[in-house]
Amino acid sequence: MSGRIAFSLFGVLAAAGLALLWSFGCDDKPTEPKGAAARDYPVYFVDLHRSDSNWYFTYHPLTNELDSVFLPFELFPVISADGKLMYIRDAQHNNTAILELPSFEIIGDLPYVAPLAVSPDNRLLAVWRNGLCVINTDDYSEIFSDTSLSGGEFSFNSQRIYGFTKQGSAYKLDLADSLFPVTVKSFPGNLVRSVVTPPDESRWYVYLATSHVFLFLVYDVGCDSVVFVDDFYPGQGEMAITPDGRYVFYTNPGGMPYSPGPPWITVYDAESNNFSNLIITVGALPEPYEEGVAVGELCITPDGRWLVAIHTDFRYILTIDTKTQKPVRGRLFGGYRHHQGLACQNGL
């Protein structure tokens, strides 16, 4: 796949104006934004290109520094909320290894196939073993399991998990209720890939696939209805939400067998319930990417200050200032790369 995308800045802006969006009214308002001081939170990822597998990288978005370490694993990391531990699948032993950071020393293992997410209060860990399981991080005892549930992310208050079922619907798992009720919400004809929510959980932001296109949609819980939809192609992207719930960033990277997507990240503004901006990557990197790059994976630091982005098929990492919504620094990598698994702590 070529690293160069034939989009001019004029074409980018024209495409933005032609984006197909639907917005419907509802009275609920999102949480107001709050400021946060800049701080360096390391972001981790892995190179899964077969000649370089097992290399894990630590990227510092504040300083643009990059470190690497060779580990006996080949899958995505999950970082504890305090940034002190890394959980990662150990395929050789079919379990989850626990590593201490920043030394990367292996200090234990868990009898689960893979880690999924850590709660922002650092008390719970979502893991996979023929379905979703939730365990305590103090003694790693299991408190919940359901073979019908797949991936998931914790709410900001750590009391719920939102994700997708094996059948492709969205779900909410209520951990604050001792009965652990699960609410399933289907979007007919669509396959849910991920769900995130603002701090008040009044809306579900859903990234999903249809038979023809991908969708970003906003489901309002109070209205029990979809209040905003954006459709796009070739999709295959991710979402990230600012801790104040004001902005949701989502990507449209494409990738095999699709063509590469456009050189921007789309920004949804919860306050206006509408598309608000494109974070354009044209000019953000030197040759061969000076005409812009598609963006795939996203990771936002827990203070909401930095949005870090990569694309599996390209050789870069970008840091975006969430206040100005512009790329501010980045790095290029030599050779063939297959970077995946962006992860950062989600607690301050």
Residue 337 pLDDT grade (very low, low, confident, very high; cuts 50, 70, 90): confident
- Which of residues 202 and 16 earns the better pLDDT score? 202
Mean pLDDT lowest among 26-40, 49-63, 178-192: 26-40
Burial of 26: CB neighbours in 10 Å, binned 0-12, 13-18, 19+:
middle
Rounded-to-integer distance, Cα 69 and Cα 221, Å: 44
Rounded-to-integer distance, Cα 117 and Cα 122, Å: 10
Stretch 202-222: mean pLDDT, rounded?
Answer: 96
Q: Which two tokens stand for residue 151?
A: 């991936």
Most confident of 15-29, 78-92, 301-315, 322-336: 78-92
Q: Which amino acid is at 272?
A: S
Percentage of the residues of the chain whose pLDDT score is greater than 70: 87
β-sheet bridge partners, residue 67: 58
Rounded-to-integer distance, Cα 147 and Cα 164, Å: 12
Residue 9 pLDDT grade (very low, low, confident, very high; cuts 50, 70, 90): very low
* Tens digit of each residue's pLDDT (9 = 90 or more) over 264-308: 999 999 999 999 999 999 999 888 888 899 999 999 999 999 999
The domain locations on the chain are 9-343
Percentage of the residues of the chain whose pLDDT score is greater than 90: 73
Q: At residue 28, does pLDDT exceed 60?
A: no
| CA-to-CA dists, residue 305 to 26, 49, 151, 195, 322, angstroms | 29, 30, 26, 21, 6
Stretch 19-45: mean pLDDT, rounded?
Answer: 57
Q: CB-based contacts of 343: which residues, under 8 Å, 6+ apart?
A: 43, 44, 45, 76, 77, 78, 79, 299
Mean pLDDT lowest among 50-59, 92-101, 139-148, 166-175: 50-59
- Which of residues 75 and 342 earns the better pLDDT score? 342
Question: What is the DSSP-derived secondary structure letter of residue 113?
Answer: S
Task: Classify the C-alpha dihedral 258-259-260-264 as positive or negative.
Answer: negative
Task: Note the pLDDT of residue 333.
Answer: 86
Stretch 5-17: mean pLDDT, rounded?
Answer: 37
Average of per-residue pLDDT values in the chain: 88
Task: Just give the CATH number of 9-343.
Answer: 2.130.10.10
CA 210 to chain CA mean position, Å? 20
- Which of residues 290 and 324 earns the better pLDDT score? 324
Residue 335 pLDDT grade (very low, low, confident, very high; cuts 50, 70, 90): confident
Stretch 202-215: mean pLDDT, rounded?
Answer: 95
- Which of residues 13 and 150 earns the better pLDDT score? 150
Q: How many CA atoms lie within 13 A of 10 on its CB side?
A: 0
Q: CB-based contacts of 264: which residues, under 8 Å, 6+ apart?
A: 12, 16, 278, 279, 280, 281, 292, 295
Task: Note the pLDDT of residue 123.
Answer: 98
Rounded-to-integer distance, Cα 89 and Cα 114, Å: 5
